[in-house]
Structure 1
Amino acid sequence: MRTSTTMPPLQALRAFEAVGRLLSFRRAGEELLITQSAVSHHIKQLEEMLGVRLFIRKAKSIELTPEGAAYLERTVEAFRIIAGATSEMRRQTARQRVRVSVLPSFAANWLVSRLADFMLKHPEIEVELEPTLRLEDFASDYADLAIRFGTGRWEGVRAEWLMNEEMSPVVSPALYDDGTRFAEPKELLLQTLLESWNPVGWELWLGEVGVDIRRARVLQLTDYNIVLQAALNGQGVAIGRMHMVRDHLAAGRLLQPFPQIVRSEKIAYWLVMPQNRRLRPGAEAFASWLKEEAASPPSPVC
């Protein structure tokens, strides 16, 4: 590599900056892990190239010349700029981590199967899922964003609509094997109706078909994953969230006894974000990808 006629060697500049800051050849050598004589050689090389003295050598000390002081100020500034640019480049190229607070049922039945696509498109971003039922308040700064189910009206956060859910009863084939058949919706009142903590799904669907939910025997379970498992075990009839049960229907693990499907603004998935904080670039990329996935038409149930 050819030596520049306008740029001094980096080793000489580093030695000059250390000596100028510490005002000691010995201490500069200790900091740079080189000998004192090597430091002296670098300073001499720099002075010869510049054609000016940088230090005044005294018996037991040194001090900067006026030219040396001016040159040191610009050298320190240059090193600061290089260090800042290096730090910024490392920050941009480092693997980013996005923490997503998500409903366990949404993670297991919709999100996880799609994550491979995001990882393929964004190999520099690592996604960490936190399955939880509580609404993230973002005060702890743990989660970057959250995915929730409901009306989207939550205080202290910003919610963007992802997609509406569709509701229809689903049941295990095991109930049919027991001789159970549903000729009309009111016969559901003879069964245990499975729902998570908020029975709005059954309320909307039964209201649509003209059945009074107050006459039904509803078993409320903590999480929709538990609702699905109970339905798969033949313990009752679940109100099917069609985005969540699509694979079960396609595989024949669950059946949809009635064609009626209810859609309502009360049953939607939302992307929840901090109200007064911008998303980091990785979280912004994940949010954009998630909205694209939610807008994609679901594959038909075969």
Structure 2
Amino acid sequence: MALHNDLPPLLALRAFEAVARHLSFIKAAVELSVTQSALSHQVHKLEQHLGKPLFIRRTRAIDLTLDGQHYYDQIRPALEAIGAATRSQRAAPSAGLLRIGVLASFATLWLAPRLADFFQRYPHIQVELLPAIQLANVATAEVDLAIRYGKGDWPDVQATRLMAEILSPVCSPGFKAMQAPHGALLMATSHRPFEWTDWSAHYQVDLGPYPRVMLHDYNIVVEATVAGQGIAMGRHRLIERRLQNGSLVQAFDWPPYHSEIGYWLIAPQGPLSQAAECFSQWLKQTCANA
């Protein structure tokens, strides 16, 4: 019998492993950068494939069934072995190739303009940026390093804070001149909209009356805001040029919010390759001087 006849859907397997390890759909969704509903759908798909429930779902908690615990104990070593085998094979072809997972907005607005300095220092290292909303996972060797935006609460990786973000709502001068009482809030798609949540809690602002427009990526949010379509949460590290040339201005009178949110360098557990170590040191120095 062919092996693939017995293999479950691999995305569903990855979802199950994360939920079983955390015993939490919320924490697993954060780790995999997916919504809880998408994660629940994948777990349900695996349960249908096996023909049995894997979790006992309660109001505020979940537990593995006996079958679920047995299945988790069997597949976890296999997944770790696959990850180790993948890392060893990816390191072999080219020691100078470096894959970096990064949000497209950070790559476009901050990192790319500074990469020339890295290439001048390390011309033998080839950098491949892999931009995505759902960042690739360093723990499973999808990338060598990743740069993430958040509060540093990612499990099973080494997270080093690069720089904090300064936040304030911004809009175009024309939009502000219209004095719209409750302009639309333009937001990048995320299952954790902590920017607006933290800012509104800090300044005790009720965002209820403001309509929300969800856009795919923060790059699109910036362009739509410059075009006068609404109010965005300005990430000052990324929109510095827009603030300097006046195409974006402060939407409200509150001072910029120095948040706990920032940019983090994410590396797998264990030693880095020489190329990853060079990039890591360069990035830390560049961020410290930014």
TM range (shorter): 0.5 to 0.7
TM-superposition CA deviations, 1:220-262 (whole Å, max 9, x none) = 3232112112112211010100001101111222112435111
SS of the aligned residue for 1:105 comes to helix
Matched, 1:290 2:279: no
8 A contact 1:204–1:262 mirrored in 2 = no
In 2, distance between residues paired with 1:230 and 1:111?
Answer: 21
8 A contact 1:137–1:157 mirrored in 2 = no
SS of the aligned residue for 1:213 comes to coil
For this pair of structures, how many residues does the alignment match? 195
Would the alpha carbon gap of residues 166 and 143 (structure 1) be closer, same or farther in structure 2, given more than 3 Å must change? same
Residue 131 (structure 1) aligns with: 131
- Aligned AA (2:233): I
Matched, 1:180 2:178: yes
8 A contact 2:100–2:128 mirrored in 1 = yes
In 2, distance between residues paired with 1:138 and 1:201?
Answer: 25
Would the alpha carbon gap of residues 140 and 153 (structure 1) be closer, same or farther in structure 2, given more than 3 Å must change? closer
Would the alpha carbon gap of residues 153 and 140 (structure 1) be closer, same or farther in structure 2, given more than 3 Å must change? closer
Give ranges in structure 1 of 5+ residues lacking alignment: 1-90, 298-302
TM-superposition CA deviations, 1:123-170 (whole Å, max 9, x none) = 121111110122322355341100000111112222111111010111
- Aligned AA (2:229): Q
In 2, distance between residues paired with 1:263 and 1:294?
Answer: 16
Give ranges in structure 2 of 5+ residues lacking alignment: 1-90
In 2, distance between residues paired with 1:133 and 1:273?
Answer: 18
In 1, distance between residues paired with 2:279 and 2:178?
Answer: 45
RMSD after superposition: 2.1
SS of the aligned residue for 2:249 comes to coil
Q: Is the deviation greater in 143-152 or in 120-129? A: 120-129
SS of the aligned residue for 2:208 comes to helix
- TM-score normalised to structure 1 length: 0.60
8 A contact 2:145–2:268 mirrored in 1 = yes
In 2, distance between residues paired with 1:210 and 1:259?
Answer: 11
Residue 220 (structure 1) aligns with: 214
Q: Is the deviation greater in 281-290 or in 195-204? A: 195-204
Deviation at 1:95, TM superposition (A): 7.5
- TM-score normalised to structure 2 length: 0.62
Residue 86 (structure 1) aligns with: none
Matched, 1:201 2:195: yes
Matches within 5 A, 1:243-254: 243-254=237-248
SS of the aligned residue for 2:135 comes to coil
Would the alpha carbon gap of residues 224 and 106 (structure 1) be closer, same or farther in structure 2, given more than 3 Å must change? same
TM-superposition CA deviations, 1:45-86 (whole Å, max 9, x none) = xxxxxxxxxxxxxxxxxxxxxxxxxxxxxxxxxxxxxxxxxx
- Structure showing greater Rg: 1
In 2, distance between residues paired with 1:252 and 1:115?
Answer: 26
In 1, distance between residues paired with 2:140 and 2:153?
Answer: 21
8 A contact 2:136–2:142 mirrored in 1 = no
Matched, 1:191 2:183: yes
Residue 281 (structure 1) aligns with: 274
SS of the aligned residue for 1:134 comes to coil
Deviation at 1:100, TM superposition (A): 0.7
Matched, 1:211 2:205: yes
- Aligned AA (1:264): S
Residue 71 (structure 1) aligns with: none
8 A contact 2:162–2:288 mirrored in 1 = yes
Deviation at 1:98, TM superposition (A): 1.2
